[in-house]
Structure formats: structure tokens, C-alpha cells
Structure 1
């Protein structure tokens, strides 16, 4: 079940104000190549029981150091006959988690391909905090180093692949259920009486064709309610409305006569009705659609909803989307989904605003 479906089910059961904490693992792999030019001379200079301590590398939010003993690690009977390799955890911050790691070390051949590999299966990073770290006392013996395969031109290259698995707990703060605007001044039965009185007083004098259906209406009512319809009717009494569903226009016409926003979710899709309300400059209906859409802002819908709000100048809906995306974890989740491309192309300024605000919060 998707997150949006889960939240819809919970809200349908009466739980209107929700927050979600998601616990998951994150796997990060970093690679590092140790290249020793003039290996024969270097191993002599380093000597026995001596290590080459390399610069630290950062993988998975932690610092690591590779320790290489060309002539083996001391206190073993193999000292001087093998190469010893260890990975050491170099960062020691307080309250730092103990992630799981996997280490793979490979000697590269002349084509840059692994020709000899050893692997440490999953272990805790705390095992790598000893003085030399965790790894292999006997990574490879000197006699097994092939001059043509491993030491061409007296160069030894070892590839390290370090995978760090950390736990992530992301709190996604969801918007509380917004208060939906609803007119409180006119009883519903009065609407019906007024509309009936209008129709009984005079016959409709305007014909409107929408999506294969024909509607009739009163010119004076349409002109009084919508400046766009007033302009359209200055040219003709027979209107043809393109790019709109008949059901959407029917809901629009009901609002024009009653001044009462319908139950938007039941009448038609709020998105289409919002576009129609904006097209005919019916601000009260547009606001009702905005607030209806605010009820359903989720990770799956927020990108498309924000683009809709930007395109049709909907400050209430835009504010709801921006607050949702500003909550911890939500922007990251949308960026990792198909919604990121929609935000980049549909509302780049809003995306930039979100990123800038996030950076500013992190710097505080």
C-alpha cells in the first residue's frame, strides 16, 4: 500500500491529523584505489612491521582510513611474507551510530580489472576501531604476486570497495486537516426556491454547448456573475465552450445560479473545477476548490498540485503545498520520485525557494 493510500484510509476512519515516521536503511558505497609505484623499492623502504597510513576517506557519513603493511603486520608468523590490509574507522563522534559495513579489496590487473579479491562480509563498524583496524593479516603472499599480472612495471594497484549501511529515521510532518470553506448564510432549500423563481419569471435566452451537451441559461445572470462570460456574450447568444467536460460546466452553472460551492469531491474532480473557476473568474468557487485540494496533499500528489497552484495563481493551495514540502523528509522524498521532474519544469521558482529555505534552516 502506498503512503497516500494508507493516509487516505486512516483519514477515512476519522484520523484527520496525522504524522508519519519512516525507518529505513540507506546503503552507500565508496571506492578508493591504492596505487604503489615502484612497489619493490617502497616495500624495502617501509620495512617490516611498518604501515603506510593513507589519507582518510568519507563514506556513509563516517571517516575511514586504509592501513597497508607491505611486509605484513607484526606479532604473526607471516610477518615479512605477506601484504596485510586493514580498514580503520577514523571518526569517533559522541553518540555516533554503529553502522554495518562490507569491505572488498581487489588487486587490479593491467587492464584495471579485479584479478584477486577478498571480501569481509557484513560486520559492525565498531570492529574497525582497533589500533590497526579490521582486515586481513594475510591478504596475499609475496610469492603469489605475479609480475606480469599484478606488478607490471613494478606498479601495484589495489581497489577498495567500502559499503556502509546506516539506519535512517525520517519524520514526515503532514498537514492537519484544513477547515473547508462552506457558506453558512443560505439554507440549501432557499437556493432551490430562488432558482425556481428565476426560471419561472423568464425563459432562458442563452445556449451553451459543452462536450457534446447543450445547456440553457439567462444572459443577465451569466453577465452578472462572470466578467468572462459577459465579454463572451457581447458577441453571441450561442456559446461553444472548448476544453471542458460537460459535467464540470454543469457544476459551474449550478454555482453561478446558487452562489453555493458544491461538495467539490462529489461533484467532479477538484482540479478540473478549479481550472474552470479560474477561467471564468469565479473566485469563491476557486477558493472552495483550493481548500478541497488542500485536504488531499500527499507525497504522491504534491508536485502536480503545486504546479496547478502556480499555473492558476492559487495562494491558499500553494501555501499548503509549500508547507508540506518544507516538513522534514518530504522534499527529499519528492526529489527521489517522478515528481522532481514535474517541479523542475512546472514551477522552478517554487523549487528554488524550497531549496534555499532548506539550506538556510541547515545553516542556522
Structure 2
């Protein structure tokens, strides 16, 4: 071994009898050897063979024959750190973009939706995979006679476009060009209704979270009625929390939206809020 060299090796041995019969190879674990002074490490075996058997089978003329094999271990071409930190740069996920391109190209579309005269070609297998309502409507026994052409009632074209885009891409893109803040909130409300109608729960939660973040005294009554109708509990709680302020509730109770809400909703929470507002302050 060269001076100051360090290697790792595996040692094997077997006994050879005078008649040429060999035992099975016996192997050590990996031993680390160094030629540097003070760094020699020794390895060996204990209880190789009983003395009686050794003398009877392998000793002749007070000698016995042992064959050794030494395998020097080289450094691996790929280390663990290389595996944990690959040099190949992976591209970003492309599935969403691929499905968006599929929707945009209309290639292979086998169903067309008509919303207020505007048509939307789509692929029934994609819709069925993402919505149990679409699955029943397009693939189940209740499928309409002309299953390739579906008229959608009570929905805006822009809302349906955003709904279908989310079905394909799992991303929400709203038609905001030319809309002010109030128009955008109204679109989100309609989209929440559409998501609930087609049982697309993730989209429904996204709309719910969006409406929670933009509540105000002008829209809270309408939003509460929407949340109550579509079982959006988090949105209802956010509305109640805003309305719980005596100053806001007093102003709200004088509005027409609140009167409409009381007629449509039998919520006990509203009665409690009114009682708190009217209770004399101490």
C-alpha cells in the first residue's frame, strides 16, 4: 500500500483439505485500512473451526492450507449527496397548461354546452372526472337524449366559462376586464352558486374565502343569504361577525337588503343579533 493511502476492503477466506475439498467462503464486513503510521486497523475471525475437525480433515504434516480473497472497495461513481441534489433541473408541472390548451383547442370535444346563446365545447370524460353532477348528466343512466348538446339555464356565460376553466386546470381565472369591484364580487357570488350546483367543492371554498375577504356593510346581508342557501358555514360566520358590531347592525337593519334577508332566512342568529343591538347599554 502506498504511503498515507487509505482504502476500504472486504476479506474472505476458505480452508482447503489435502484432498482438494474446500469449505464455503467466509466474509468479514468492510474494513478500513490505512498505511499512515498509527492508523492500521486489524480484522479477524473467532472460532473458525473446532480443533478436532480441523486436525481430522484439513491438517497434514502439521500444516493446513487457507485461501484468502481481498476485495478493495472503490469510491462510488454516484454518492448519496448526488442523489439528494440532482443536477438535472426538472421543469415545472405542465398538466394544468396542457388541459387548458386542450380546452382552448376544442380538439376531440364530444359535448357542447349552450349558455344564453354562447356555446362551450368540452370533453365529457374530463367533466365527469371532476364533477359528480357532470358524471351523472353526461355519462349516467339519466343522460339526456341528445347528450352531445346541453342547454344550461340560470347562469351567465362568463361564470360558466370560469367554471369550465377551473374544471380543466384547477385554477380560477375570472373575467375581470371591464368590471369594477362590485361587479367582480357579484361574479364570485354567481360562481359560488355554480360550484355548488355542480358539486365542485374546491372551487366553492375558493369563492367562499374570496367573499370572506371583501365583506362590507353594503353587501353583507346579500352575502349572508347566499351563504345560508348554499351551506357555506365559514362565510356565514364571517358575515355574523361583521354584523355583530352595533353600529354596523343598526345601519344594516335600516336597509332594504336586510328586510329581504329576514323574509328569506329563518336564521335564529339574526334574531339574536337584533336583540343584542336593541338591548339597552349599561
Same fold (TM over 0.5): yes
CA contact (8 A) 1:248 1:272 kept: yes
Counterpart of 2:150 in 1: which secondary structure?
strand
Q: Does 1:327 align with 2:245?
A: yes
Is the counterpart of residue 262 in structure 1 residue 164 in structure 2?
no
- C-alpha deviation, 1:278, in angstroms: 0.9
Structure 2 counterpart of 1:281: 199
Pair 1:249-2:160 in alignment: yes
1:265/1:292 contact within 8 Å kept: no
> RCO greater where, 1 or 2, for CA within 8 Å and sep 6 or more?
1
* Alignment check: 8 A CA contact 1:307 1:346 kept: yes
Which of these residues, 276, 281, 293, is aligned with residue 211 of structure 2? Answer: 293
Which structure 1 segments of 5+ residues have no match? 1-185
More helix by share: 2
Higher radius of gyration, 1 or 2: 2
Q: Could you give the per-residue CA deviations for residues 13-44 of structure 1, whole angstroms, max 9, x where no partner exists?
A: xxxxxxxxxxxxxxxxxxxxxxxxxxxxxxxx
Contact 1:343 1:351 in 2 (8 A): no
Unaligned ranges ≥5, structure 2: 1-90
Relative to the length of structure 2, the TM-score reads: 0.55
Structure 1 pair 290/361, CA: closer, same or farther in 2 (3 Å)?
A: farther
- Aligned residue runs from structure 1 range 205-224, under 5 A: 205-224=110-129
CA spacing shift, 1:301–1:277, aligned 2, 3 Å: same
Q: Secondary structure at the match of 1:215?
A: strand
State the Cα distance separating 1:322 from its structure 2 match.
Answer: 0.4
Instruction: Give the CA deviation at 1:264.
Output: 7.7
CA shift, 1:225, in A, is 0.7
The 3 A distance-change label for structure 1 pair 188 and 312 is farther
Once the two structures are superposed, what CA deviation does each residue of 1:122-174 show, in whole Å capped at 9, x if it has no partner?
xxxxxxxxxxxxxxxxxxxxxxxxxxxxxxxxxxxxxxxxxxxxxxxxxxxxx
Change in Cα spacing, 1:296 to 1:198, as seen in structure 2 (3 Å) is closer
Query: Could you tell me how far apart the structure 2 residues matched to 1:188 and 1:333 are?
Result: 49
